Amino acid sequence: MKAVPFRELYSTMVRIRVFEGAVERLTAEGLLPAAVLLSRGQEAVAAGVCLHLGPGDQIASTHRPLAHLIAKGCDLGGLMAELLGRAGGLNGGKAGPFHVSDPSVGALGANGVVGASVPIAVGYALAHRLRGDNGVAAAFFGEGASNQGCVHEALNLAAVWSLPIVFVCENSSPRRGRMLGHEMNWPQLAVERVSRRAAAYGIPGETHDGLEAEDVYQAAGRAVERARRGEGPTLLEFTVERLEEAAIGGLRDPVERMRRRLLEGGVIDPGEDEAIWLEAEEEVEEAVDYALSSPEPELSDAFRDVFEEGWRG
């Protein structure tokens, strides 16, 4: 297992947090044409998984995609422009927050359909197997999506064919249940942990604290290495929580946890920490400026990307 790149891990989490803060601000100003679901509190999972993936590896995301896309390396200006529905967006302003993608960095896209990311990622894992290119796919989904029929079918097929894929379940139900005043056993889950379902597919399943970036990174590293060795899928479950504004900077904030750990461990000093945040803020501000200066799509653009232009029958 390679050493944990603490600075890069933390910087990625900060970049996600700052970007989503800007999205929240633009939403409040009425500049976003569609609602955007934020992943605040889940930054450690996105960063910890995606830092093991290269440009030739793919991720398939959810309806809460920003952390995954940023961690995978999507251009922030193009991403912000896409959220604003501008022509300079990653998908020309057509995809919006629920379908935005950037195949150039291996981001297969967000998905407004619960659980739909999983079979898409399995398809790409099959492509890697057929090509023999040593690539890996990762599918992000939530605990609710784990009950979708297509998810079970995809998990089973990936296990049968021993495909190079990592299944990443971001489970927010345990802590959400406690916050609502009752312990989780939500009616939608008959098992305490989604990872226990892995036994039915004959693959490894693990549950980890999704607030601990180092733990996420190490668990994801083992799973990705296993997939690259041709040993098949792993089901990783990370318990997470979605932070409300008042919880930012508290003990349940994964970004703050990482910051304190690095400062206390002498990995960074306060000046370096400030520089990391300043760099992220400047990068995001440039992305906002680019997005706001990007023009609206032309009416004729609605007729583009309807048919594959290279197809001749």
- Give the span between the Cα atoms of 266 and 255, in whole angstroms: 17
pLDDT surpasses 90 at 4? no
The more confidently predicted of residues 90 and 302 is 90
Instruction: Show the tokens assigned to 86.
Output: 């501008």
pLDDT digits 0-9 by tens, 22-55? 999 999 999 999 889 999 999 999 999 999 999 9
Q: Which residue stretches of 141-212 are H helix?
A: 149-160, 173-179, 198-201
Q: What is the pLDDT of residue 239?
A: 95
Distance CA 158, CA 164 (A): 8
- When mean pLDDT is compared across 31-45, 174-188, 261-275, 299-313, the lowest value belongs to 174-188
Q: Which of 30-44, 111-125, 187-201 has the lowest mean pLDDT?
A: 187-201
DSSP letter for 269, please. Answer: -
Q: Quick check: pTM over 0.75?
A: yes
- Over residues 122-144, the mean pLDDT reads 96
Q: Are 66 and 36 in contact (CB under 8 A)?
A: yes
| Least confident range of 71-80, 190-199, 265-274, 304-313 | 304-313
Q: How is the beta sheet containing 205-209 ordered, strand by strand?
A: 58-60, 137-142, 165-171, 234-239, 205-209
Domain 6-286 of CATH type 3.40.50.970: yes
Give the model's pLDDT for residue 149. Answer: 94
